[in-house]
Structure 1
Amino acid sequence: MTVVTPGPSTKPPPADKADPRNPIHNVFWRRHRDEVEEDLTRLRSEPLTFFPGFQFVDELSGIKTPGAWVVPRHAPILEVSRKPQIYSSARGVTINDFPPEFNEYFNSIIAMDDPRHARLRRLVSAGFTPRMLARLEDSVQDQARLIVDEVCERGECDFVTDVAARLPLRIVCDLMGIPASHHDFVFDQSNIILGAADEEYVPEFGDLITAILTAGESLSQLMDDVAESKVGVESEDLTSLLVNAEVDGERLTRAELASFFILLVVAGNETTRNAISWGLVYLTDNPGQRSIWAEDFEGVAHSAVEEIVRIASPVTYMRRTALCDTELEGVKIDEGDQVVMHYLCANRDETVFDDPLTFDVLRDPNSHVGYGGPGPHYCLGAHLARREIKVMFRELFTRIGDIEATGEPELLSSAFIHGIKHLPAQFTP
């Protein structure tokens, strides 16, 4: 047995300019897919590496990016996920340290430690019981049908905005009791929050901080208005359940409910929309795999959906912060260091996945971390997300079976979300 002596922390100073080979910087992800995959393969072959921070906006913004240890392999991600007593979520889940005023809108359960995390997760879990999910089953199918109805006669569409983004958005809004008249507003605000580094959503010369805070405030106010209308009213939506019910004598505060709603519309909407979008990209690039699924949709659906989530990895990473001096893969991690669990990179780990860059709808086993690693922060909505992906592709295969992407995906400028903004698609009307 070889004893590994932890080496010293080697942390380069903050970078003066963007480094296209730094995976925690947006510019890394603006390149062609093949170039990105080449660098991720290299990253998995190297020792645990600290990547320097950089100036996210400007010195007056209050947003700091101090740098982070990037964990690119599967096994150490599982280790970090299982040790919340060492690796904290409460100091933030992205590589940016935001100013305190962000906490009012974005202090959701994914950015908490126990016991507060356990309390809130127990309360919001009421929305993901078998009974609540069963209620959503018909809604998912009905909405998928309506979405295809809206495009099927056109012969072409922007697959992201016309199809992939619509299903999870409508389901989240239905779950929370948000009227259809507000759906486009919710979509636009969530794009601002997650697309903060993308000029399409926040113009280059716009006030980024104000834009993000305004979007958070707007969604919070919408949720507060909806919650107020549900007090004392019996209804089947989750907002009614949460404002009227108690769990062990506790209920969510309005601020907690608003933060949970923002988490749902940002995480639940954006991640599933990107899984569906990347799904069409990979099915177009791999017609043989598409045929395998189409010929036995129900039989292959489970493994195909898992493979889409693995290779798409809609949430690129999650950050933790070391609560004490520790060691990971033989490297010393100092108290206060940021540790980034790079899910997308780990979902291509050659020691876990055979031929990991190949899209294989029959892949089994498939122990991806597309919904996070094991532990208290595993994605609460994973079952619903899987259902949405399956139902959307079943409707597409049944109604417009020859749909395919006709160009390269236009990517979101983000190191946190592996997102597609636009994707041209064609099909026979």
Structure 2
Amino acid sequence: MVQAPQPVDVSDIDLSDLRFWGRPPGERYEAFARLRRRGPVFFAEAGWGPIPPGPGYWALTRHADVVEASRTPAVFASEPSAISVPDLPRDFNEFFGSMISMDDPRHARMRRIVSRGFTPRMLGKLDDDINRTAARIVDGLLDAGPCDFVSTVSARLPLTIICEMMGIPRDQHRTVFESSNVVLAGADPDYLGEDADTALHQLLTAGGNLAALLAELAEDRRSAPRDDLTSALVNADVDGEALTGQEIGSFFILLAVAGNETTRNAITHALDLLTRHPDQRELWWSDFEAHAGTAVEEVVRHASPVVWMRRTLTEDHEMNGHRYRAGDKVLLYYASANRDETVFADPDRFDVTRSPNPHVGFGGPGPHFCLGAHLARREITAILRELHRRVPTIHATAPPRRLLSNFVNGVKELPCAF
């Protein structure tokens, strides 16, 4: 039975106001709890530089709404964009969003070709590389002593693995790191400057740098293929289909950004959570392997590295008692759905044994579930296993310095000691 919306005051909440996203996390989660009790709430859009405000959007904050919308892609479409609230040019969205901003049949074709790099066999081959890289990173941590956990540990593992998967030379890893920071910088002035025109220039420059790097690499791999993902993509032939140069470039931006930033933030949040919940650290550390599976899922649920994705209604549609109209924009707030008290008991508690845990931290069920989810789980587990084994007392020494963004639950710095 659908629960009727309750008369809850949400007039002080504006998800389009960046000041909301600069508030302490506890205040934001309390606001989402009220929004869940209220049901779908409509918000006006804010403009961004030369882009005028749009028609507004519905905030889907309940787990049931996010899951149902994810399962109904023919109605809740990813086109024209899944990654921006404003209606930006289609080429812009696909350049930065790749197949995330596509619907079938284009999405299915793209995913069919690129998924060859994420098969269980390919990921199994990566396990040794991930473990060796995690060990080298902890070597560096031990040499560094007290330091910033983000730059010394959490940012290095996914960046190294993705670059090595693609066959990117080591001297180009820094370019990937810096450019991906800008692409997912939200509205943070540390990366984008103080005004929208500067931010747009920085964003396009970063995307162009990544695309140019991959174009040069792809040209080399066409004539001299190697055992890397770039070679597999540029020489792919699945039922006569291959990726264009533009598609390869946009997919690399997606991989470099989504696979790097989100996993890095999950690892960073893991240390912060284990520091703030010593009972859960003690429990997990008492038998790392026994609890690793549920603990990693709980880190992803609790952190929700990707806050939302957008969908656009293709037709009039009723869902859970609410009527949507063709053309309506909706934002699927994973960060709220993952704390829905009707699904998760004591949702604000960090519980490394939580089971079941039907979180949507990798996206909801359906064709857009994260292609790299298994890789992310492997990386998070590997680095935390290495820390548990060799630096079991590591802890955060101050609160995280957070990214100002409504899209990514990012951390710029987290001081640590051991």
Q: TM-score, normalised by structure 2?
A: 0.95
CA RMSD, 1 decimal: 1.9
Residue 42 of structure 1 corresponds to 34
**Where in structure 2 are the equivalents of 1:330-409 lying within 5 Å?**
330-409=321-400
| Cα distance per residue 1:247-291 (max 9 Å; x no partner) | 111111111001100001111111101101111111000001001
For residues 217 and 93 of structure 2, the distance between their equivalents in structure 1, rounded to whole angstroms, comes to 21
Mind listing any 5+ residue stretches in structure 1 that lack a counterpart?
A: 7-18
For residues 247 and 56 of structure 2, the distance between their equivalents in structure 1, rounded to whole angstroms, comes to 29
Amino acid of the residue matched to residue 149 of structure 1?
D
Give 1:412's match in structure 2, choosing from 394, 403, 412: 403
Per-residue deviation, 1:230: 0.7
Higher helix proportion (structure 1 or 2):
2
Residue 137 of structure 2 corresponds to 147
Give 2:81's match in structure 1, choosing from 85, 92, 99: 92
**Where in structure 2 are the equivalents of 1:202-241 lying within 5 Å?**
202-205=192-195, 207-241=198-232
CA contact under 8 A between 1:196 and 1:212: conserved in structure 2?
Answer: no
Give 2:165's match in structure 1, choosing from 175, 178, 185: 175
CA contact under 8 A between 1:24 and 1:95: conserved in structure 2?
Answer: no
Aligned residues: 412
Per-residue deviation, 1:22: 1.9
CA contact under 8 A between 2:298 and 2:354: conserved in structure 1?
Answer: yes
For residues 403 and 2 of structure 1, the distance between their equivalents in structure 2, rounded to whole angstroms, comes to 46
Per-residue deviation, 1:397: 1.1
Amino acid of the residue matched to residue 152 of structure 2?
D
Residue 71 of structure 1 corresponds to 60
CA contact under 8 A between 1:48 and 1:329: conserved in structure 2?
Answer: no
Q: What SS is found at the alignment partner of 2:144?
A: coil
CA contact under 8 A between 1:102 and 1:213: conserved in structure 2?
Answer: no
Shift of the 248–119 alpha-carbon distance from structure 1 to 2, 3 Å rule, reads same
For residues 148 and 346 of structure 2, the distance between their equivalents in structure 1, rounded to whole angstroms, comes to 31
Q: Please identify, of 407-416 and 204-213, the stretch whose mean Cα deviation from structure 2 is larger.
A: 204-213
Tell me if 1:55 matches 2:44.
Answer: no
Identical aligned residues as a percent: 50
**Where in structure 2 are the equivalents of 1:93-108 lying within 5 Å?**
93=82, 94-100=84-90, 102-103=92-93, 105-108=95-98
Shift of the 426–327 alpha-carbon distance from structure 1 to 2, 3 Å rule, reads same
CA contact under 8 A between 2:318 and 2:324: conserved in structure 1?
Answer: yes
| Cα distance per residue 1:374-409 (max 9 Å; x no partner) | 111011000000000000101111111111111111
Per-residue deviation, 1:195: 0.4
Give 1:22's match in structure 2, choosing from 6, 14, 21: 14
Residue 246 of structure 2 corresponds to 255
CA contact under 8 A between 2:292 and 2:381: conserved in structure 1?
Answer: yes
Per-residue deviation, 1:64: 4.5
Per-residue deviation, 1:102: 1.6
Q: What SS is found at the alignment partner of 1:241?
A: helix
Amino acid of the residue matched to residue 114 of structure 2?
V
CA contact under 8 A between 2:80 and 2:90: conserved in structure 1?
Answer: no
Per-residue deviation, 1:130: 1.9
Amino acid of the residue matched to residue 265 of structure 1?
A
CA contact under 8 A between 2:186 and 2:406: conserved in structure 1?
Answer: no
Give 1:83's match in structure 2, choosing from 40, 58, 72: 72
Residue 416 of structure 2 corresponds to 425
CA contact under 8 A between 1:20 and 1:28: conserved in structure 2?
Answer: no
CA contact under 8 A between 2:39 and 2:62: conserved in structure 1?
Answer: no
Per-residue deviation, 1:97: 2.3
Residue 10 of structure 1 corresponds to none
Tell me if 1:295 matches 2:286.
Answer: yes
For residues 154 and 54 of structure 2, the distance between their equivalents in structure 1, rounded to whole angstroms, comes to 31
Q: Please identify, of 134-143 and 353-362, the stretch whose mean Cα deviation from structure 2 is larger.
A: 134-143
Per-residue deviation, 1:24: 4.2
Q: What SS is found at the alignment partner of 2:127?
A: helix
Per-residue deviation, 1:126: 0.5
Per-residue deviation, 1:411: 0.9
Q: Please identify, of 119-128 and 405-414, the stretch whose mean Cα deviation from structure 2 is larger.
A: 405-414
Give 2:149's match in structure 1, choosing from 159, 169, 187: 159
Q: Segments of 4+ in structure 1 off by > 4 A?
A: 1-4
Mind listing any 5+ residue stretches in structure 2 that lack a counterpart?
A: 6-10
Shift of the 72–2 alpha-carbon distance from structure 1 to 2, 3 Å rule, reads closer
Q: TM-score, normalised by structure 1?
A: 0.92
Amino acid of the residue matched to residue 23 of structure 2?
R
Residue 112 of structure 2 corresponds to 122
For residues 64 and 261 of structure 1, the distance between their equivalents in structure 2, rounded to whole angstroms, comes to 30
